[in-house]
Amino acid sequence: MKAGVIVFPGSNCDIDAYKVLEKLNVEVKYIWHDEKIDDEDLIVLPGGFSYGDYLRCGAIARFAKALENINEHIEKGKLVLGICNGFQILTELKALPGALLRNKNLNFICSDCNLIVENTDTPFTNLFKKGDIVNFPIAHGEGNYYIDDEGLGELIKNNQIVFRYQNNPNGSVADIAGIVNKRGNVLGMMPHPERAQDKLLGGEDGLVFFKSVIAYFKEV
C-alpha cells in the first residue's frame, strides 16, 4: 500500500499524518500542492489552514493542481481521507455532501473528544466495533457540519455517517463528526485520528483507525 499526504501552503497537520503512517510502516510521501497525485492507494488531505483558509476554509485549496485528478482517483476506488481542513476541502470539492460552518460557540476548540463509531463497514473503520467509543482530539474553528434535511435523510439511508460526537462540541447536525461518500472510499472527519498515535501524548485510538486502512488493503 502506498500513501501520499498532500501539502498545501498552510497545511500544518501534514507532518502528524505522515508520522503515524510511517510509524505503521506504510510507504508514505508528501505531495506538494502543485504536483500531481500518482497511483497512491491512500491520499490524505491533512489539517491546517490551506491558503490561510481565507474566504472559506478549503475554498481555494480545492483548485490546487494536486486535486485536479482527485475525482478520477476516487472513481478508481482509491481511498481519500480528509481530516479537519481536509474534510472542509472535500465538501468544497463536492466529493462529500454538506458544508462546515463556524462552531456554534464561535470559538476555536482544541480538546479531547469522544466519538461513537457508527459504521464499521468502511475501509477506515473495519477494525472497530459498532458503538465503540474512541478519543480523537479536535482542533477547529469551523467544524459545525451542516446538511439540509433531505441530505441528512440520504446520509442515514446509505449508512454514510461514520462517526458521531458523544458530546456535540460545535453544533453539527445530528452530531455528525465524520461521513463517507456513497461508495465508502472517501472519508471526511473533523477530529484528528493522527493525533491519537501515542500513549504519551494522550492516547492511541488513532492507530486502530490507520491499521484498518492497512487491513483493508491486505484484503483486496
For the annotated catalytic residues, the residue numbers are 84, 192, 194
Interface with other proteins, residue 71, by CB under 8 A:
no
Q: Which triple of cell numbers denotes residue 11?
A: 497545511
Report the residue from 27, 36, 54, 174 that binds other proteins according to the rule CB under 8 A.
54
CB atoms within 10 A of CB 25: 9
Tell me how far apart the alpha carbons of residues 1 and 37 are, in angstroms, rounded to a whole number: 15
Number of H helices, E strands in the chain: 5, 13
For other proteins, which is the closer residue by CB, 65 or 182? 65
Inter-residue contact 8 to 61 (CB < 8 Å): yes
Chain-centroid distance, C-alpha 194: 10
> Which residue's C-alpha cell is 459498532?
130
Minimum gap (Å) between residue 39 Cβ and other proteins: 25
For other proteins, which is the closer residue by CB, 146 or 217? 146
DSSP tag of 69: T
Q: Which triple of cell numbers denotes residue 216?
A: 483493508
Report the residue from 6, 21, 48, 189 that binds other proteins according to the rule CB under 8 A.
48
For other proteins, which is the closer residue by CB, 42 or 84? 84
Interface with other proteins, residue 205, by CB under 8 A:
no
**Residue 67 half-sphere exposure, CB side, CA atoms within 13 Å?**
22
Inter-residue contact 169 to 109 (CB < 8 Å): yes
Question: What track of x and - describes contact with other proteins for positions 97 through 136 (by CB under 8 A)?
Answer: -xx-xx-xxxxxxxx-------------------------
Minimum gap (Å) between residue 146 Cβ and other proteins: 6
Interface with other proteins, residue 191, by CB under 8 A:
no
Report the residue from 4, 21, 31, 53 that binds other proteins according to the rule CB under 8 A.
53
Q: Which triple of cell numbers denotes residue 129?
A: 466495533
CB atoms within 10 A of CB 52: 10
Tell me how far apart the alpha carbons of residues 60 and 54 are, in angstroms, rounded to a whole number: 8
Minimum gap (Å) between residue 26 Cβ and other proteins: 16
Q: What residues make contact with other proteins under the rule CB under 8 A?
A: 9-13, 15-16, 19, 47-49, 51-56, 59-60, 63, 91-92, 98-99, 101-102, 104-111, 137, 139, 141, 146, 148, 171, 192, 194-195, 197-198, 200-202
